[in-house]
Amino acid sequence: MKLLISILGKATGYLTLVVVLIAAVLHYLDYSEPGALPSMAVNMESLEEDFRQQNKSCFILGATGETGRLLLKELLDRNLFAKITLIGRREVTFEDKAYEKLIQEVVDFEKLEDHAPAFQGHDVGYCCLGTTKAKSGAEGFVRVDHDYVLKSAELAKAGGCSQFHLESSKGADKGSSFLYLKVKGQVEAEIEALGFDRLSIYRPAVLLVERQESRPGEWMARKVLSSCSFMFPSMSVPIQAVTRAMVSNTVLKPEHPTEILENKAIQTLGASPTK
Ligand SMILES: NC(=O)c1ccc[n+]([C@@H]2O[C@H](COP(=O)([O-])OP(=O)(O)OC[C@H]3O[C@@H](n4cnc5c(N)ncnc54)[C@H](OP(=O)(O)O)[C@@H]3O)[C@@H](O)[C@H]2O)c1
């Protein structure tokens, strides 16, 4: 019995050591992540006021999804734009008065060319469009996350949009052998080649969100990651941090026309006070 207790004690000790080592490595990797870390010394309030005065307009793709819905709320709360257009495959009903001035363009994503006017005259575009292989199959996933996203960006650019903010994913890499990461990397590169005055790419890790739609695998990952997010900060991010980062970043001046905000930069910018 004593032997068993001693073995169990040792095993627990080793396990703890392994977990701590993994956490330390991930923590190190997290802090060595490349990506813009905007200076926090800026006065966000005055930058936002300057931006507001310019009466700009924007559109959101994917405003019915988890990120898009919250991004819309953040934009309305901070009142940065004179006009906000939602471009999606279905019209949405909002109860709140704050939403009454929104413009909604319902488009057929299979015939986006026919909807070019919906993409005209916006200064800024936000893209939170996406599906999963589990939901739409591999072909459907590529169709949405690559074809629809790229075509929308092309139409927006042709319609005069100068800033494009793309929600991509941690690990996006056009050379990856994983379809998800490869498609995300490809679409990033192809949108960069369109030559927007400014392209901001956000690469969040697993989004911590109480998702309306049931996704059991993601639910499980979220439960595990949210309970130990302090140990593995590079593996997840609260969805509110993503949308706050996207909105705050809009008024900041990037150093280069294309910037990539990795998970750490999103957490930093998304945690900053905005008012
Ligand atoms: N989930 C994560 O942990 C995670 C992590 C990193 C990056 N990302 C990326 O972040 C982005 C946003 O993720 P999310 O979880 O916020 O998305 P989401 O909740 O699944 O919402 C996706 C949006 O895309 C639209 N959409 C999906 N399929 C469509 C189709 N066939 N035609 C037209 N519109 C379609 C949805 O419209 P409907 O409402 O009409 O369906 C919705 O507005 C995605 O690109 C995702 O890959 C996600």
Domain boundaries of the chain, sorted by first residue = 33-271
Please work out whether the CB of residue 266 comes within 6 Å of at least one atom of ligand 1: no
Q: Which atom of ligand 1 is nearest to 89's Cα?
A: 33
Contact 227, 253 (CB under 8 A): no
- In the chain, which residues have pLDDT < 50? 31-32, 34-39, 275
pLDDT for the residue numbered 36:
46
Query: pLDDT, tens digit, for every residue of 14-42?
Result: 665 565 555 555 555 554 454 444 445 57
pLDDT of 40: 52
The pLDDT value given to residue 26: 54
Active site residues: 180, 184
- 146 secondary structure, DSSP code: I
Report whether residue 270 contacts ligand 1, using a CB cutoff of 6 Å.
no
Atom of ligand 1 nearest to the CA of 204: 6
Distance from the Cα of residue 97 to its chain's centroid: 26
* 33-271 has CATH 3.20.20.70 classification: no
pLDDT score recorded for residue 21 = 57
| Cβ–ligand 1 contact at 86 (below 6 Å) | no
Instruction: Please name the residues in contact with 130: beta carbons below 8 A apart, sequence gap of 6 or more.
Output: 62, 65, 144, 145, 149, 167
Residue 262 Cβ inside 6 Å of ligand 1? The answer reads no
